[in-house]
Structure formats: C-alpha cells, structure tokens
Structure 1
Amino acid sequence: MRTVLLLCLLLLSACKQGPTLERFGGPTMGSSYSIQYVRQPGGPAPEQVQAEVEAILQAIDSRYSTYRGDSIVSRFNQLPTNQCLVIDRDMGALVRFAQQLAEQSQGAYDLTVEPLLDLWGFGPQARELQVPEPQALARVLQRVGYRHLRLAGDTLCKDAPIELDFNSIAAGHAVDLIAARLQALGIDNFLAEATGELKALGRKPDGSPWRVALELPREDRQVARQVIAVHGLAVSTSGDYRHYFEDNGRRYSHTFDARLGRPVDHDLAAVTVLDASALRADGYSTLLLVLGPQQGWDFAMAHGIAAVLVTRSGGGFVSRSTPAFERALKGE
C-alpha cells in the first residue's frame, strides 16, 4: 500500500510540473551562440536540442567559414578565373539574396570584399591592420565586384579572381535555420542568438516577453540605449565600434564600401534592423551601415525597412527610427 501511495504522489508531482526555462550555448563562428527556450513537460531534452542546434552551426561553418581551407566558400575562392563550383541549395539561396542587395545598393553591399578585408588587415589572410598603398589597393580592386559572380543553376562561377565573404549574412541565416528547427521540435517559445544576431518567438514561462537591449555604439563599455520586447522578429545590429583600427587619428572599421575599396567614412555608428527573417535583418543592417546616415535613411524609407540609425553628433549620439521600426515595436 505504501508503495502504491508513493507512486501516486510521484505521478501527481510530475503532472504538476509546468514549463521550465532552459539555457545553453557555446563557441561558434569565432564568437558564441546562446539559446533560451521554454521546455514543456514531455518536450525534448536540452541535450537533444543542443545537439540539433550545434549540427546547424557546424554545417554553416563548413559552408561559409573563410578560416577553414576545406569549406565550400574557401574552395570557391581558390578557383582560377572562369571556373565554376557546384554548390548546394543553401549557398545558392544566400548568393541570390546577396546579389539582390548588391543590385539594390548599386554595389555598396558586395559579397566579393574578401580581398579588401585581407588587404586592410581584417581578413583570414591578413598580416596586420594597416592602410594600404594606393597601388596595392588599385590591384586588389580588380578582384572585387559582384558582377564578376554568376549563379547558373547549381553552379557558382567567376569571371575574375574574386573571393567571397559571407560574414555579413551567414549568422543571420544560421539563426533562421535554428528557429525553424526549434519549432519543428515543438518549441514555440525561444530566444535564439548567434554572434549577436537573434530571433525571438513566444514568451517566457511567466508570460513576460523576451526583451533585447540595443546598445549605444561605445567602445569603452556596454550601455543600453533602448530595451525592446520582441516576438516573432529577428534583431540585427551592425556597427563600426567593435572591429576597427586607428591610423594618424582616423578610424578604419571592418565595414567596407566595395565600390571604393575602403572602410566606410561617415558618422553613422550603428544600425539596428527588425525583420521576420534574421537573414534579411542581418543583410540590411550591413547595407544601411555601408550607405551612411542619409543614403541609409533614404534606402530604409524607400524599402519599408524597420530600422533605427544611430549617428555620432557633437560628442554624443542621435537615434532616428523609421516608421516601420515603430510599427514593428507595437506588433503591427
């Protein structure tokens, strides 16, 4: 009788267990990732969820890492001129999206910036952070240009010795894949983040929304300029304040205008974009940052992008949000 009573009590206790908040994370893409999700009773174990997420991140790394000689992008970069490489549907989709951004921005956004990153010291083949000589820059610019890239069916071709860099969109794409996989596992309440790109869906176990802090673009310390509640949206912030060097009093960031072959040179310090797709948010935040305060604003307004642009002004910062950004915050 005691055994039966104890079993009944254990069953009742198990039935009363509600949703729990699970967390895990780790290194990825030279940075880190983190996942928070609400586990329902009977839901998949955290170890299973983590294994699924890390399998996605490993697949992204095997395709898009320029720091791996065996990645698909590295194999393409090593191809001679007028050669093609068979690629999978995943990479084909990212190339098409990147080429769309390039067309929309008249080449300000460009996947073929890898030789420039190396020349200025930001890429995997770089030796040191430096301002290159004009002659060296002119030579490298001959290896840059999205029009030298052609996608034909399942093959990617080059008609110049171009090299690709997917860092401006790969992490956002990874977050989209992770979000889709979590939902396929029956997880409908989560905050997924990879290298700062993130997407949130649903709510926490207590019913409160997922909240995300948008930072001021400061180098010395982290300061939140705004905290927003996010549901069903991805958040991407691009800025010039994390990876840069200074030379003769001038700042050179890792964000490049491929048309000029040099880091952007304007007062736009950071851009945050909200979108249902982390890939789109990631790509457009980079594109707007390249375009600068006025051209970026005009582009965001013309394309209905939910964005906030943070500009340096008089020793401080001025933020300007598009109407689409304000509507997105209200859930409209």
Structure 2
Amino acid sequence: MAGAVLRGDEELLTGRWLGLVILAGALCACGAGDTLETLGGPTMGSTWSLKYVRHPGLPDPAQVRGEVEGILAGVDRQMSTYRSDSDISRFNGLPAGGCQAMPAPVLELVRVGERLSLLSEGSYDLTVEPLMNLWGFGPQGREEKVPDDAALAQARQRVGHQHLRIEGERLCKDAAVEVDFDSIAAGYAVDAIAARLAALGIHDYLAEATGELKASGKKPDGSAWRIALEEPRDDRQVTERIIEVDGYGVSTSGDYRNYFRQDGQRYSHTFDARTGRPVVHDLASVTVIDPSALMADGLSTLLLILGPERGWDYAQKHGVGAFFVIRADTGFVTRASPAFERLSRGKTD
C-alpha cells in the first residue's frame, strides 16, 4: 500500500504496486509571501499526501486538510469493501435481484467500470471480488491457494458486469455479484481533491492517494513536478525513468508484491475476469498518464491485465500514454508509447 518516507532530498511514495519518487528539488525560490505546504495522513488502509504552493490569500493548511479529509472520508464511506457499513458493501450483501439507492459517485464509477470492461472485451471487470476472495486476495479471502475447478466455476457465476444495471439513482443486480472499486477509487479521489483545490484557487500542487497522483502547475522554484518511476522489485529501489507532470494524473499498476506460489507456479492478484484466474504473462508493471487520475488508475489496471502484447496494441490503438516494464531473462526491459513520451515531458498541449 502507499506510504511516505523521507529519504534525503526525495520523498518516496511507495504506491500500491510500484514506487513513485517525487523529486523535491529546490524549494526556496518562492515569490514574496509564497510558501510550500505539505500535508498528509492515513486513508483507504494506506496514506495520502499533498504539496501545494500557498500564494498570498490562499487557504491555510488547516482548511485545506479539512477539505481533503472530507473528500477521502466520503470515498471510504461510499466505496470501501473493507468496512461493512459502506454503500458498496451493503449492496454487495444483497441477493440476486436486489436494488439499492446509491450516491452519484458510486454510479459514476460503475459506468466507468462498464466502459473499461467493454474496452477490454471483458478482461477488466469490477465484479471480480468473489474470485479475489476465493484465491485469497480479497477482503474476505482466508487462504492463498489455487481453488478446485468446482469452486472456481461456482464463483465465476457471480462475476460479470452484465449482471449490473442502473435504474435512475439505484444500482441493481440480477446475480449475486459483488462490486470492488479498488482499481479506480483512489484515482477518483485524487480527481475530486484536484477539483476542490482548483475551486479554492490552488493551482500549483501535487496530490496523491495510495500512490495515485495528479500534479498541476509548478514547484516554488518554477520547475515542474518530477516523478521517478521505480523498477518493480522489492529488494531495492532502482529508478527506471524520471518524468515531468503538469495537469495530468499518473498511476502505476504491477503484480510483483501481491502474489503467492504453489507447486512452483506464481499466482498474482491481477485477474482476468474472462478466465477467472490470475494473469500469466511477463508484464511486471505499467504506468499510465492521463488528464484524469481516475482513467489513469483504471487504464493502468486494464493494461496490466491485457499483458505486454495485447496491452501495447491497446495503448497504441487508443493513444494511451503508457510505460511498460516487462520481465526478461536479464532483468527488465521497458517500452513507452508515443503518447507517454510526449506527456511525460510536462507538455499539456
């Protein structure tokens, strides 16, 4: 999960799967009365952080903290599958044929999930929680192990976005599906924070929640916010690529930390809903840059599911700014889409 650890002149944001290092640079060349404010705290079982340039007349840190924590609390209350009283957990507890009134953000994410499912031909799906639990990765998972065929077939009957429908302000289901927003909720939260900061007149910031982030404007010294992408490894920290971000969200998905081995086979927590099984390919991680942190969050997961070939073809066809890190015999090889090369240099045109 995400965290923040000071290390010299860098701040390490470990993210959910791959490290993102914010390169601090010089922070003393502020204009008259400008200050760099740094906030942070716990959220979604992980952490959030915010750096913003406070120009004269802008809100003080206490007010900004209250605004951010209010947004994050709302996301947790509506979308968390780790608390039984959330809106989505109560919906997940309904039997087949049940309907429940839902707040607008939940319905928005269901629609985004449907779009991503269609774009991936069903590989990406918000309703894989029964599979996650069965394999030991979900909030109700008890043991990480390969399930037998009968249990897998039974769980797959409760998976599929086609079992969901929206009727006005209600979310309904015709099978006992369970919705999990883990792949897009943090990105949604970052976009909501960014929108609130803009409403407060704050336009120079870097906002992050559980490793998903969005940057806007400049640092106090006038330079761009710089992010270092780390290799997907857990033995040491190695910077793979440094990017500049202005006006974009950044999300990285990877499978190198959450997995188990059985009978010599590696099983990750990244599932292809079409098979009901963890993906088996050499794509270790993928980073996406997009104007929306929500879409960057969802697309990084979608591309990770598709793998190094199908994912690359998808990114090329749809103009996705994506950076792939692929396992090879000698370590890792990387591949960046043309859109990623353009957007990672801080260009917003």
Partner of 2:323 in structure 1? 308
Partner of 1:173 in structure 2? 188
Partner of 1:13 in structure 2? none
Partner of 1:63 in structure 2? 78
Distance in 1, Cα, partners of 2:237 & 2:43: 22
SS for the counterpart of 2:128 is helix
Deviation, structure 1 residue 329: 2.3
Partner of 2:288 in structure 1? 273
Distance in 2, Cα, partners of 1:203 & 1:82: 50
Q: What pairs with 1:42-191 in structure 2 (closer than 5 Å)? A: 42-191=57-206
Distance in 1, Cα, partners of 2:56 & 2:248: 26
Distance in 2, Cα, partners of 1:244 & 1:26: 27
SS for the counterpart of 2:81 is coil
Partner of 2:47 in structure 1? 32
Distance in 2, Cα, partners of 1:156 & 1:232: 33
Distance in 2, Cα, partners of 1:251 & 1:48: 47
2:219 and 2:225 in contact (8 A); partners too = yes
Partner of 1:20 in structure 2? 35
Distance in 2, Cα, partners of 1:55 & 1:312: 40
Moved over 2 A (4+): none
Provide, for residues 135-168 of structure 1, a one-character-per-residue CA deviation record: whole Å limited to 9, x for no partner.
Answer: 1111111111111111122111111111010000
Deviation, structure 1 residue 17: 4.3
Distance in 1, Cα, partners of 2:160 & 2:97: 15
Structure 2: gaps of 5 or more residues: 1-30
Provide, for residues 64-104 of structure 1, a one-character-per-residue CA deviation record: whole Å limited to 9, x for no partner.
Answer: 11011110110110011011111121111111111001011
Equivalent in 256, 265, 272 of residue 257 of structure 1: 272
Quick check: which has more Rg, 1 or 2?
1
Distance in 2, Cα, partners of 1:174 & 1:223: 28
Distance in 2, Cα, partners of 1:68 & 1:295: 35
**Structure with a larger share of its residues in helix:** 1
Structure 1: gaps of 5 or more residues: 1-15
SS for the counterpart of 2:304 is helix
Q: TM-score, normalised by structure 1?
A: 0.93
After alignment, is 276-285 or 218-227 more displaced? 218-227
Q: TM-score, normalised by structure 2?
A: 0.89
Distance in 2, Cα, partners of 1:222 & 1:50: 30
SS for the counterpart of 1:118 is helix
Partner of 2:336 in structure 1? 321
Distance in 2, Cα, partners of 1:220 & 1:251: 18
CA RMSD of aligned residues (A): 1.1
Q: Which has the higher contact order (CA 8 A, sep 6+)?
A: 2
Q: Does 1:197 align with 2:212?
A: yes
Partner of 2:258 in structure 1? 243
Equivalent in 290, 294, 307 of residue 305 of structure 2: 290
Identity of aligned residues (%): 62
Counterpart residue type for residue 297 of structure 1: W
2:245 and 2:343 in contact (8 A); partners too = no
2:285 and 2:304 in contact (8 A); partners too = yes
Counterpart residue type for residue 223 of structure 2: S
Partner of 2:230 in structure 1? 215
Distance in 1, Cα, partners of 2:76 & 2:149: 34
Deviation, structure 1 residue 219: 2.0
Deviation, structure 1 residue 192: 0.2
Counterpart residue type for residue 53 of structure 2: V
Partner of 2:8 in structure 1? none
Distance in 2, Cα, partners of 1:249 & 1:18: 60
**Number of residues paired by the alignment?**
317
Distance in 2, Cα, partners of 1:56 & 1:100: 24
